[in-house]
Chain A
Amino acid sequence: MVEFLPPALILIAAAFLIGPTRGVVRDVIVLGAPLLTLWAIWQVPNGVVTTVPFLDYVIEPVEGSELRRWFATIFGIMTFVGGLYAYRQAKWYELAAAFAYAAGAIGVCFAGDLITLFLFWEFMALFSTVIVWSGGTPAARAAGIRYAIMHLLGGIILKVGIEGVVIHTGSIDIQPMLATNFDTWLILIGILINAAAPPVSAWLADAYPEASPTGSVFLSAYTTKTAVIALILLFPGEPILIGVGLYMIMYGIIYALLENDARRILAYSIVNQVGFMVCAVGIGTQMALNGAAAHAFAHIIYKALLFMSAGVVLYRTGKSKCTDLGGLFRTMPITTVCGIIGALSISSFPLTSGFTTKTMISTAATDEGMMLVYFLLTAASAGVFLHAGIKFPWFVFFQKDSGLRPKDAPWNMSAAMIIFSVLCIFMGVYPESFYGYLPYAVDYEAYSAGKVLFYLQLLLFSGLAFFLLLPMMKRTLTISLDFDWFWRVFLYRFGKLVVDAGTEFRDVFMWRWQSVSAVYMDRLRRYFGQWGMDNKRGMFASAWPIGTTALWIAVLLSTYIVVHYL
């Protein structure tokens, strides 16, 4: 029964067409296909609408629900605004890869079974790798290979888990489960790898900042948030996710504080923000899941906005290190203001989208009486303002005068940033406008005078801490080691040690073998070959006269007869 083709197919078709087309036709495809996809997303009704027999299974490529449409919608919006931001500057293959990547994310949203989910999951891994490679530098190539290894590994773990579940339960349906046995653990680990959970969080901050200015905007949106919807669908209320989420939140803050590269600061803060969502999925109540979904939506917008402003700076100046930047507000007013709006939103400042979405997660924690979780989330909110809310705009646009006087963003990049800035504020001012579309009925008052005051205190005093501690946060030309040190350096050195030892062993062995074999070869040649100065033939290699041969045969035969009769 094929009632409805997957909306992702529109973007896949567009990805195919971006390469061969030029000029206005390509522009129409890049800007039109995401809008068409958004329309298609909203035509998907609730429930399984398409089934296809595949091997012995019935797969369900399209299943609709509020949650699925919600995530697909933000992926669609992201593709449109990202396309607008990138279409005049990005290389065609980066754009095509970005559309295929977005198609993978939207495909996962509507996947009704684990097989479809896995196929689109791998689709994302492939094309996001192409985006990292489109950075074009040797560093991008190396980071892309590390990125691909990590995601293919995650894909294999996920696949083994899925096969285990299919064999043991006989069902390929996507339904809530808990990590209680080997199969479900593998599925959870496979998904968490894409969410940049510990100990493999490093792939994100390693790869995203190596992409092009436009590429990292696309990368920031899809992979981790697709992992969030997969967690909501498969592991709502899995308690381990609370701890994992809290770790990610703190990890993101601490590493972002240590970081010098502006885009890497933003990459660490993705891990931090996804940590809030993972934690919310772990809490698992309707309020928490609503919070995770709403926060994912808002997060994609303001994070892309932040990456866009950092991208414009990189595009105009060729620099993204805080030590090289500063004072850009003079000539880049639009980029600065949009960057600040993104920074305020990520910090969940009142009247921005972060406030109306992230506070749902904190409220969910208090509803469940989780005091420690609540206080850690609150401390983390202060930390977000510290590492992303102030640190990013301060070091890029203010700080010292770097002497750089770049032009402001090209018009299409400005337009994309303005659209997202307006959305950030709109979602902050009119939360009722989107609460109705969340997966569960919302009984939540976003604004109360007391709550606003509490957050203003929290955030403004974090700001005070930032400026008072500024001397401690002087930027240095450094990177920070992470768990990936174990595979990038330790395993490499260990492998090299093994290879070197092997080479040594082989050399000694070959030397011995040669001297031993030389002696035997010499003997062999004496009997079976030609040797010496006059090329004398060996005993078994020379031609014998017939008479001698006959004589020897006679001797052998008579010896035989004698022995026989004795």
Chain B
Amino acid sequence: MNQQQDDHWLVRPDSIRLLWRIFWAILALTVVLQVVIKVKGYFGVDGWIGFGAAFGFLSCVAMVVFAKGLGYVLKRDDNYYREEDDHG
């Protein structure tokens, strides 16, 4: 279906691989640049090399894992409240 449109360069496996490579390169660059550009640490640790990177990555992982865990308790079917209203 829509062969031509699925060939949009953004969705081609080649271009996705290329984008990933560029992304990794930029990520590495932001950390390496810290050797040259001094990041002012307000509380000491936040001035360490790669602190922003590690902190951002780890806090996101923590939040996703926490949300996932909470989801097991709190997630309900889309129609949960509608069914409550109908039969509840």
Contacts and interface: CB of A to CB of B under 8 A. Distances in A.
B56 A465 contact: yes
A461 interface: yes
Interface string A142-165: 100000000000000000000000
B37 A383 contact: no
A386 B64 contact: yes
Contact of A453 (B34, B76, B88): B34
* Chain A residues touching B, majority SS: helix
Contacts of B77: 477-479
Contacts of B2: 401, 403
A450 B57 contact: no
Contacts of A477: 77-78
Contacts of B71: 258, 478, 480
Given A382-B55, A464-B27, A496-B88, A453 B63 contact: no
B67 interface: yes
Which bracket fits the contact residues of B? 35 or more
B57 to A, nearest CB: 4
Interface string A484-497: 00001100110010
Contacts, number: 153
Q: Which of A142, A366, A457, A477 has the most CB of B within 10 A?
A: A457
B68 A472 contact: yes
Nearest to A323: B78
B75 A374 contact: no
A481 B88 CA distance: 16
Given A258-B71, A366-B42, A374-B42, A461 B57 contact: yes
Contacts of A461: 27, 52-54, 56-57, 60
A255 to B, nearest CB: 8
A254 interface: yes
B8 interface: yes
Contact of B63 (A383, A398, A405): A383
Given A330-B5, A403-B1, A478 B33 contact: no
Contacts of A479: 75-78, 80-81
B14 interface: no
A466 interface: yes
A275 to B, nearest CB: 14
Interface string A385-405: 010000000000010010101
Given A366-B42, A481-B75, 20 more contacts: A254-B63, A371-B43, A375-B46, A379-B59, A382-B55, A386-B63, A453-B37, A454-B39, A454-B51, A460-B53, A461-B52, A464-B27, A465-B60, A465-B61, A478-B76, A479-B78, A480-B70, A481-B76, A481-B80, A492-B88
29 contacts: A257-B64, A257-B67, A260-B78, A330-B8, A366-B42, A378-B59, A382-B60, A450-B37, A451-B40, A453-B33, A454-B39, A454-B51, A455-B52, A456-B52, A457-B31, A457-B51, A458-B52, A461-B54, A461-B57, A462-B59, A462-B60, A465-B57, A465-B60, A469-B60, A472-B65, A472-B68, A476-B75, A480-B74, A480-B75
